[in-house]
Amino acid sequence: MDRKAKLAEQKPGLTHPTTEQRDFGGSGASAGQGQYPLSARLRAGDRAAAAELVDAYYEQIYLFMRRLGHDRHASEDLTQEVFFGAWHHIGQLKDDKALNGWLYRIATNVSRLYWRRHRHNEVVGIEQIDLPAGSEEAGPEKAGLQEQLELVRDAVAKLPVKLRETIVLHYMQQLTIAEAAEIAGIRQGTFKSRLNRALRTLKKSVA
């Protein structure tokens, strides 16, 4: 297993991207070394910037693939494919602050293409859902809540791909409706409709 993937697997408590990761494509020093944003340096063909991109986003994209239902081996391959595609199509990125969403769109398309090519494959299971950081739950109460979350995780894994994407993007990656809809390539109204359908299905599954 790739070292970065192995590290990601060992961090079950990491359930969503950090603020630093989400803002990595913006301007200023936080966007990378030097005075230029990471995306601008990528467009200029800076290979050091490509390494920074991988370091900043690998864990996030890998876990995104796991949560979409890909097994560990496939998630490693697909994550590498995402960064390969980003490097070769970076010229398409015009807005420096859109790097996060742009990378997610590539990842979503890579995942969809994989499912179309492997329709016979069963979903292995999404990445573990954990209790929120700082939760006061403990003892039997915490164990009971974790059991409920396990049931939700299994139910999400059985959703149709499009519905699963809405749950993963909005609730697990913690993207806004607007961000998630843009990444999914659909209108916000359509995204909300899919999200509601997914939630209704989950409610029936875990009732």
pLDDT at position 65, please?
Answer: 94
CATH top-level class of 3-117: mainly alpha
Q: Distance (Å, rounded) from C-alpha 163 to C-alpha 176?
A: 16
User: Which two tokens mark 49?
Assistant: 């910037």
Q: Distance (Å, rounded) from C-alpha 50 to C-alpha 43?
A: 10
pLDDT at position 99, please?
Answer: 87
Give residue-wise pLDDT tens across range 67-89: 998 989 999 999 999 999 998 88
Judge: domain 139-206, CATH 1.10.10.10: yes
Enumerate the domain spans of the chain: 3-117, 139-206
pLDDT at position 68, please?
Answer: 92
For the chain, helix, strand, coil in percent to 5 are: 70, 0, 30
Alpha helices in the chain (DSSP H): 3-9, 19-22, 38-43, 47-67, 72-88, 99-117, 139-157, 161-167, 177-184, 188-206
10-residue mean pLDDT profile of the chain (207 residues): values are 63 48 41 64 87 92 93 94 92 79 95 86 54 44 57 83 93 93 96 94 82
